[in-house]
């Protein structure tokens, strides 16, 4: 990320998250991905914040965007699996967990 304004916005969102101010964090993470739709960290953080606020379907959408942007990111797949578990979608959770396991063993999802 080279945009200092985007970095400041992301840092502010992280600060709200750390203080437990989830709605404020979600709003700022949304602005981050609006500014840069390719911003992996923004999508990942937005998904996790939405998961914490119980917005499961939207969290899963963000998680899917994160793994689309970085298909070989272990944390992104692990988080997506958690989102699916919370939503009760065990087959999708297991599939995401499987991808995380492949990565944890040194494999690749996308070459």
Q: What is the pLDDT of residues 84-96, one digit of tens each?
A: 999 999 999 999 9
Give DSSP secondary structure letters for 17-34: HHTT-HHHHHHHHHHHHH
For domain 4-104, the question of CATH label 1.25.40.10 is answered with yes
pLDDT reading at 111 higher than 90: no
Q: What is the pTM of this model?
A: 0.94
Q: What is the pLDDT of residues 31-85, one digit of tens each?
A: 999 999 999 999 999 999 999 999 999 999 999 999 999 999 999 999 999 999 9
Rg (alpha carbons) of the chain, rounded to whole number: 14
């Amino acid at each position: 990320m080279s945009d200092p304004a985007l970095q400041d916005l992301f840092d502010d969102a992280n600060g709200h998250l750390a203080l437990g101010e989830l709605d404020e964090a979600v709003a700022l993470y949304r602005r981050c991905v609006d500014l840069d739709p390719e911003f992996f960290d923004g999508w990942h953080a937005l998904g996790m914040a939405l998961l914490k606020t119980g917005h499961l379907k939207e969290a899963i959408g963000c998680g899917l965007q994160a793994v689309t942007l970085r298909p070989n990111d272990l944390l992104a797949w692990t988080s997506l699996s958690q989102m699916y578990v919370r939503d009760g979608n065990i087959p999708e959770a297991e599939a995401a967990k499987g991808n995380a396991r492949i990565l944890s063993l040194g494999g690749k999802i996308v070459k």
